[in-house]
Amino acid sequence: MVLSRLVSTSAAPPASGDVFQALDDSKITRFQIKTMFVSGMGFFTDAYDLFVIGIVVDILKTQWSLDTTQVSWLNSATLLASAFGAFIFGRIADMLGRKRIYGYEVLILAAGAIASAFATGFAFLIVCRIVLGIGIGGDYPVSATIMSEYSGKQSRGRMVGLVFSMQGLGLIVGPLLASILLGSGMSDNLVWRLLLAFGAVPGLAVFYLRRQIHETPRFAVAGGAHEEAQAAIASATGTEVAVAPGESKAKLSQGALDGFYKIARNKRLLIWLLGTAGGWMLLDFCYYGNTISSPEILKLINPHATILDNTLTQLAIFAVFALPGYAVAILLLDKTGRKSIQVMGFSMMALMYLLIGLIPGVTSAVVPFVLLFGVSYFFTEFGPNTTTFIYPAELFPTEVRTTGHGLSAGAGKLGAFAGAFLFPDFLASSIGLAGAMIIAGVVAVAGLMLTVVTLPEPRGKSLEELTEDAYAEEPKAVPRVQPALGT
């Protein structure tokens, strides 16, 4: 329920803008930076675990004599599981609160990563990667929402974007660690096991810190825990010494399906969900299809290169093109806005993919391919790979924010599953690399069109103002009693 609609039988509560004004107007504080780091470390881990599998599979194809279908499943099983993790954790976090479940998703992730390192065969490894995926998916809606609900309105895009940009470090560390291990002379059997096991380390390192974060002030107010909300706002703004977080008392009385019904019954929220979920699905089809299959793609470009050579090329692409993309996005998100960045990103992705697919000779020449492929990575990270993560953490009201984000992230991971599963078949078929790039280009054009038609610009608005926009076309609801903050 929109806070500004709520009334008290004794005295009117403060308007939503008044309740959260200190937080909305705050500059970036030490608490927010710490929250960004603790949340972002999960995405470092997520990126590492999701993308290092491409290098591992390249090793296992020979060791385990994997066929194309098995390669596709190893590339994509984690992504399919992460879709369900996002759906489940996203809904639970709107029912029980962000704090109550925060941190447990990284324990699931770590269990899957450690077990993966001891896999004895294809089926065992698939099961472990599914467990890993559930934890990865659960991290998306909870981490994004916690950062969004703790950020000032003028820096929210930057802070949520910084959480997600930790993915860029995961992209770098995976091939960097693989290059070191492969170049050390260590046996390939030990290399792939160490690569998978390392995925548990960063998540476990921040588990305790995640458990210490206050419930977010927005959810605390919605759940009736007003003293907890005051403590959270004080911590976030640095206005006074915070109370020890303890166990959250905030809770919303919602059924398991209520959040889905609330979104489905609101025309504007439904359109926004189509934009956030659909755009993320189309983006991830291209992004994960290309990234997880990049060892195989680079092998097609340069068939005589070793695994180490192609891993170093992959590392160079990520370092030279992908990381700067994240950096430029962080600089411009709160100045230029999310929508224009997402539109530009999808446009340039489509252009680069189509140039690779349509210009004769590009897919057989290393330098032109790496340049065009690298530019596509810059605009992917600068554009929709960052903005699709931020959008649903802003557009949906507090009582369905993690539900909406979970649906969007889950749809994205379904698109990622499709891309990771199908790209090996594309590359092995008659259409080859050029055909795969043309398909990716068409999908990116669809993402561009969906962004233009369905998504608003949330830059500079508070979360409560965006909630008012969401409910603007609904008939006026009967006021509900709600005590003022601090009473």
Q: Residue 483 falls within a domain, yes or no?
A: no
Q: Residue 324 falls within a domain, yes or no?
A: yes
Q: Residue 155 falls within a domain, yes or no?
A: yes
Reply yes or no on whether the pLDDT at 476 is more than 60.
Answer: no
Residue type, 459: R
Higher pLDDT, 480 or 162: 162
Q: Residue 171 falls within a domain, yes or no?
A: yes
Helix/strand/coil for 360 = coil
Residue 480's pLDDT band (cuts 50, 70, 90): very low
Phi-psi region of 486 (alpha: psi -120 to 50; beta: other; left: phi over 0): left
Residue 12's pLDDT band (cuts 50, 70, 90): very low
Q: CA end-to-end span of the chain, whole Å? A: 19
Phi-psi region of 359 (alpha: psi -120 to 50; beta: other; left: phi over 0): beta
Q: Residue 125 falls within a domain, yes or no?
A: yes
Mean pLDDT of 241-247: 48
Which of 10-24, 81-95, 267-281, 429-443 shows the lowest per-residue confidence on average (mean pLDDT)? 10-24
Reply yes or no on whether the pLDDT at 247 is more than 50.
Answer: yes
Reply yes or no on whether the pLDDT at 482 is more than 50.
Answer: no
State the sign of the Cα–Cα–Cα–Cα dihedral 353, 355, 358, 361: negative
Which of 14-23, 209-218, 380-389, 461-470 shows the lowest per-residue confidence on average (mean pLDDT)? 14-23
Q: Residue 10 falls within a domain, yes or no?
A: no
Q: What pLDDT sits at residue 246?
A: 52
Helix/strand/coil for 275 = helix
Reply yes or no on whether the pLDDT at 13 is more than 80.
Answer: no
Each residue's pLDDT tens digit, 95-127: 988 988 998 999 999 999 999 999 999 999 999
Reply yes or no on whether the pLDDT at 4 is more than 60.
Answer: no
Helix/strand/coil for 315 = helix
- The radius of gyration of the chain's CA atoms, rounded to the nearest angstrom, is 22
Structure-block tokens of residue 130 = 């599914």
Reply yes or no on whether the pLDDT at 478 is more than 70.
Answer: no
Which of 86-90, 196-200, 218-222, 247-251 shows the lowest per-residue confidence on average (mean pLDDT)? 247-251
CATH of the domain at 163: 1.20.1250.20
Q: Torsion over CA of 242, 247, 253 and 256, rounded to 10 degrees?
A: 120
Q: What pLDDT sits at residue 134?
A: 95
DSSP 249-262: -------TTHHHHH
Q: What pLDDT sits at residue 487?
A: 40
Each residue's pLDDT tens digit, 405-449: 999 999 999 999 999 899 999 999 999 999 999 999 999 999 999
Residue 55's pLDDT band (cuts 50, 70, 90): confident
Structure-block tokens of residue 143 = 């981490």
Q: What pLDDT sits at residue 20?
A: 83
State the sign of the Cα–Cα–Cα–Cα dihedral 279, 284, 289, 291: positive
Reply yes or no on whether the pLDDT at 312 is more than 70.
Answer: yes
Count of beta carbons in the 10 Å neighbourhood of residue 101:
18
Give me the phi and psi of 254, to 5 degrees please: -130, 145
∠ CA(280), CA(283), CA(287), 5° rounding?
130
> CA 3 → CA 20, 226, 337, 467, 479, distances in Å?
11, 13, 26, 9, 10
Q: What pLDDT sits at residue 15?
A: 40
Which of 49-58, 459-468, 473-482 shows the lowest per-residue confidence on average (mean pLDDT)? 473-482
Number of domains the chain contains: 1
Higher pLDDT, 99 or 241: 99
Mean pLDDT of 315-338: 92
Task: Count the helices and strands in the chain (H runs, E runs).
Answer: 24, 0
Helix (H) or strand (E) segment spanning residue 475: none
Taking a C-beta distance cutoff of 8 angstroms, is the pair 290, 369 a contact? no
Q: What pLDDT sits at residue 240?
A: 58
Mean pLDDT of 167-188: 87
Taking a C-beta distance cutoff of 8 angstroms, is the pair 306, 295 a contact? no
Give CA–CA dist 371/352, Å, rounded: 9
What percent of the chain is modeled with pLDDT above 70? Answer: 90
**Long-range contacts of the stretch 334-337 (C-beta < 8 A, 24+):** 334/154, 334/155, 334/156, 334/157, 334/158, 334/459, 334/460, 336/459, 337/457, 337/459
Q: Residue 486 falls within a domain, yes or no?
A: no
Domain housing 320: 16-471
Residue 320's pLDDT band (cuts 50, 70, 90): very high
Q: Residue 11 falls within a domain, yes or no?
A: no
Which of 145-149, 179-183, 250-254 shows the lowest per-residue confidence on average (mean pLDDT)? 250-254
Query: How confident is the prediction for the chain on average, in pLDDT?
Result: 87
